Amino acid sequence: MKDVVLLEKSELTAGSTWHAAGLTTYFHPGINLKKIHYASIKLYEKLEEETGQVVGFHQPGSIRIATTPVRVDEFKYQMTRTGWHATEQYIIEPEKIQEMFPLLNMNKILAGLYNPGDGHIDPYSLTMALAAGARKYGALLKYPAPVTSLIPRSDGTWDVETPQGSMRANRIVNAAGFWAREVGKMVGLEHPLIPVQHQYVVTSTIPEVKALKRELPVLRDLEGSYYLRQERDGLLFGPYESQEKMKVQDSWVTNGVPPGFGKELFESDLDRIMEHVEAAMEMVPVLKKADIINIVNGPITYSPDILPMVGPHQGVRNYWVAIGFGYGIIHAGGVGKYLSDWILHGEPPFDLIELDPNRYGKWTTTQYTEAKARESYGFNNIVGYPKEERFAGRPTQRVSGLYKILESKCSMGFHAGWEQPHWFYKPGQDTRYRPSFRRTNWFEPVGSEYKQVMQSVGVIDLSPFGKFNIKGQDSVRLLDHLFANVIPKVGFTNISHMLTPKGRVYAELTVSHQTPGEFLLITGSGSELHDLRWIEEEAVNGGYDVEIKNITDELGVLGIAGPHARKVLQKLTSEDLSDDVFKFLQTKSLKVSNIPVTAIRISYTGELGWELYHRREDSVALYDIIMNAGQEEGIDNFGTYAMNALRLEKAFRAWGSEMNCDTNPLEAGLDYFIKLNKPADFIGKQALKQIKAKGLKRRLVCLTLATDDVDPEGNESIWYDGKVVGNTTSGSYSYSVQKSLAFAYVPVELSKVGQQVEVELLGTNYPATVIQEPLVLTEPARNRLRKKNGKDKI
């Protein structure tokens, strides 16, 4: 695509780029963000050759320093998550660290995490080289050309106005750095971004640095919370101070960015970062004698969770964003490629839902954004545990009706603004948030909740689900085009997948056909606006006559599950809930003790159960009625951790783990839901036919593994014959067979039942076996067998 125009407000590098420290690293604790870092570094390595511009790229490698045993665990955790990626990464011993960085005080150092090829680049030279390359291939760069207004047209195109005149654009990409909020307001959006002040310190020449034969690797002292690198013959170091001490430029949020701000800095404040300066002096003693020649204090834009927002925006046609970059230099190259691939091919090249701009919504207030940005900045170098929770800015206004009743009884998790119970505690149990790489204080309580659902009856708050109502004369035709499954009959529900044109799994939803042509669609909390955007875009582009309503915040959802679920509910309704009358996957409108609900006979636990959709204001009354009715049966609460263990035993896949835009539904074992022979030419159908004809290279399998006190989480390396051959996607402890359980992708030749492989957890390879799935039959499957074979055969 050659007809690309860049409109720059003042001059290239103005804003946060010109004063950046320019760090580049292959490391990222996430999974697919490693690919963004990788693509950036590979681009920067060849820029000089491609454009003729010197970029000042230094690649001495980098070392993250562990000075506590829990940091060493974190490094081992990160190693298994990197093993199946192209990134080179090693844990190195203190002797090796000292050899590579001889100026270190080695007293406290236990280990290092080393990435060869890491380093730093000159941001100004990098920008100029990228600009030269863009011009070489036909792009037009205009500056100064501030955009004064953005006017959407009915055909989805835009009129972009500047003081020099206006132009028509098929799509616009907001990549405006700390001006991104102002640009967002032009199209009626409030992007949750906030400028924070970040300081780094540059020293004059240090004789010991000058005497070195080769450049020092970049150092990241995680307990000291700073980075440090060589700058000519001196050192440069930048701390991330705590959330209490760090400074947010909040006047820019209330009054806007000062119009002329471009290449200015804030006043430096050494006192604010003094404890980090002292930590750096202790770790690198030559700093004590060094002279400071410069303290740079400039604005960096933060999103609430420190990750950028990249991609098309829900609710505004052909408006894309690449904003909120706390680490703009290392993300720039990879994100540029990611976005252009998506624009050109109509789908993302790989899954990056964690960067989806639609992960925020109306609940993301300025107060929330500020509290979160403070926390994210201060937590830059804290230990990254699995199942991590961060508590600033919570709860948001988006709480379910049950929040007040449940908050003192359970550990809540944050899901797209909602609070949802992860696990419940009983009197005398340890109720603290205790994250760990090993089994921790929730392990036993979750086991009790598991038992509760398997043996009796449990209730779970599922209100965070995304919920859409779709109706209109083309509703059936639209859904038939969007989904790979058939459209359920009126009064029934099914599980359906939206695929991308290349046949990858964009989303999984349950589709309930409530009255002729009217549907209730349900998706996971994290994919609400991600899925809605895709549906709306297809409806507009195809000219379908439908009405699409997001009713997520209007409805509460209670799940009730377990062998006594029917008995409890039947006490409260005149509707016949017996197996023959209210079948599995049926949906009915009924009253539970005078409260109107839409009841769907479905449960992600795989046990007998219903999901009850109701007005949010009725949640408390409905919950109380059900809990009272179930006293005799011993009814109790359960949370999402127990639900995860239950769904894994039933071999239920989860969107975002077993399937996403990196996987096709056939390798994920979703064949049952994919109807290649249905008449409608659904999105991805032709691609899937080709994938099927070519044959699969890998398959999703279920593994059991005997571990000690650690369970798989997902994204760990699978080993066979001394090589990494695949990865886990999710995992849990199975309370029924008392072993660890995981889903994993392995090559087809290693996917047979009984195959032995190994799963790497915290530096140890545990033997694992491919099992026949599911480990535990679902309640409907057990029922069918019971009818066929008689009770004693089960």
Amino acid symbol at 225? S
The C-alpha atoms of residue 716 and residue 485 are separated, in whole angstroms, by 31
Residue 49: enclosing H or E segment and its boundaries? Answer: helix 33-51
Could you give the strand order of the β-sheet that contains 466-471, starting from the edge strand earlier in sequence?
A: 493-499, 505-515, 518-523, 466-471, 547-550
SS3 string, 381-411, reads CCCCCCCCCCCCCCCCCCCCCCHHHHCCCEE
Mean pLDDT of 619-624: 98
- What is the CA 147 to chain-centroid distance, rounded? 32
pLDDT digits (tens, 9 = 90+) for 545-576: 999 999 999 999 999 999 999 999 999 999 99
pLDDT at residue 787 is higher than 60: yes
pLDDT digits (tens, 9 = 90+) for 423-469: 999 999 999 999 999 999 999 999 999 999 999 999 999 999 999 99
pLDDT digits (tens, 9 = 90+) for 306-323: 999 999 999 999 999 999
334, 319, 469, 365: CA torsion to nearest 10: 80
Mean pLDDT of 629-646: 98
The C-alpha atoms of residue 129 and residue 56 are separated, in whole angstroms, by 11
Quick one: fold of 697-771? Elongation Factor Tu (Ef-tu); domain 3 (2.40.30)
* Residues contacting residue 521 through CB under 8 Å, at least 6 positions apart: 467, 468, 469, 470, 509, 510, 511, 512, 531, 535
Write down the residue that tokens 């009272």 correspond to. Answer: 628
Long-range contacts made by residues 146-153, C-beta under 8 angstroms, separation at least 24? 146/7, 146/9, 146/10, 147/7, 147/9, 147/183, 147/186, 149/186, 150/183, 150/186, 150/187, 152/187, 152/316, 152/317
DSSP string, 638-701: --HHHHHHHHHHTT---BTTTBSTT--TTTTT-GGG--TTSSS--TTHHHHHHHHHH--SEEEE
For residue 420, which of 619, 572, 561 has the smallest C-alpha distance? 619
The C-alpha atoms of residue 105 and residue 288 are separated, in whole angstroms, by 12
| Collapsed DSSP state (helix, strand, coil) of residue 627 | helix
Q: What percentage of the chain exceeds 90 in pLDDT?
A: 97
Peptide linkage before 395 cis (omega within 30 of 0): yes
| Collapsed DSSP state (helix, strand, coil) of residue 220 | strand
- Name 7's bridge partners: 142
CA distances from 292 to 203, 206, 440 (A): 4, 11, 45
- Give the pLDDT confidence score for residue 788 in this predicted structure: 86
CB 613 within 8 A of CB 467: yes
Backbone angles phi, psi at 656, to 5 degrees: 95, -15
Token pair, residue 374, equals 């403070």
* Residues contacting residue 487 through CB under 8 Å, at least 6 positions apart: 476, 479, 480, 511, 513
Q: What is the DSSP letter of 659?
A: B
The C-alpha atoms of residue 656 and residue 354 are separated, in whole angstroms, by 10
pLDDT digits (tens, 9 = 90+) for 740-754: 999 999 999 999 999
pLDDT digits (tens, 9 = 90+) for 124-183: 999 999 999 999 999 999 999 999 999 999 999 999 999 999 999 999 999 999 999 999
Please provide the distance, in angstroms rounded to a whole number, between the alpha carbons at the two ends of the chain.
61
The C-alpha atoms of residue 288 and residue 6 are separated, in whole angstroms, by 46
Angle at which helix 123-136 crosses helix 328-345, to 10 degrees, equals 20
Token pair, residue 5, equals 């125009």
Q: Burial letters for 749-759: b for 16+ Cβ neighbours within 10 Å, e otherwise?
A: ebbeeebebbb
pLDDT at residue 81 is higher than 70: yes
- Give the pLDDT confidence score for residue 273 in this predicted structure: 96
CB 616 within 8 A of CB 556: yes
112, exposed or middle or buried, with CB in 10 Å at 0-12, 13-18, 19+?
A: buried
pLDDT at residue 260 is higher than 90: no
| Collapsed DSSP state (helix, strand, coil) of residue 56 | coil
Q: What is the DSSP letter of 216?
A: P
793 confidence band (pLDDT: 50, 70, 90):
low
For residue 328, which of 84, 764, 24 has the smallest C-alpha distance? 24
Could you give the strand order of the β-sheet that contains 158-162, starting from the edge strand earlier in sequence?
A: 149-152, 158-162, 165-169
pLDDT digits (tens, 9 = 90+) for 282-291: 999 999 999 9
| Collapsed DSSP state (helix, strand, coil) of residue 338 | helix
Amino acid symbol at 763? G
Average pLDDT score over the chain: 96
CB 459 within 8 A of CB 572: no
Token pair, residue 745, equals 């992708």
CB atoms < 10 A from the CB of 704, how many?
Answer: 17
Mean pLDDT of 628-635: 98
- What is the CA 346 to chain-centroid distance, rounded? 21
Mean pLDDT of 89-105: 98
- Where along the chain do its domains lie? 5-355, 466-550, 697-771
791 confidence band (pLDDT: 50, 70, 90):
low
C-alpha triplet 598, 599, 605: angle, nearest 5°: 135
- Tell me yes or no: is domain 466-550 CATH 3.10.20.30: no
- Give the pLDDT confidence score for residue 125 in this predicted structure: 97
pLDDT digits (tens, 9 = 90+) for 489-535: 999 999 999 999 999 999 999 999 999 999 999 999 999 999 999 99
Backbone angles phi, psi at 136, to 5 degrees: -55, -35
Peptide linkage before 239 cis (omega within 30 of 0): no
Residue 450: enclosing H or E segment and its boundaries? Answer: helix 443-455
Q: What percentage of the chain exceeds 70 in pLDDT?
A: 99
540 confidence band (pLDDT: 50, 70, 90):
very high
- Name 592's bridge partners: 595
Token pair, residue 579, equals 């197996």
Residues in the chain: 794
Mean pLDDT of 191-201: 96
- Name 172's bridge partners: 319
pLDDT digits (tens, 9 = 90+) for 36-60: 999 999 999 999 999 999 999 999 9
- Tell me yes or no: is domain 5-355 CATH 3.30.420.40: no
- What is the CA 670 to chain-centroid distance, rounded? 22
- Give the pLDDT confidence score for residue 250 in this predicted structure: 86
Could you give the strand order of the β-sheet that contains 119-121, starting from the edge strand earlier in sequence?
A: 23-24, 119-121, 57-58
Angle at which helix 528-541 crosses helix 475-482, to 10 degrees, equals 120
Q: Model-level pTM?
A: 0.96
For residue 662, which of 351, 202, 234, 251 has the smallest C-alpha distance? 351
pLDDT at residue 628 is higher than 80: yes
- Give the pLDDT confidence score for residue 790 in this predicted structure: 73
Token pair, residue 769, equals 């076996």
**Cα atoms found within 13 Å of the Cα of residue 28, Cβ hemisphere only:** 22
| Collapsed DSSP state (helix, strand, coil) of residue 231 | strand
pLDDT at residue 792 is higher than 60: no
Backbone angles phi, psi at 376, to 5 degrees: -60, -40
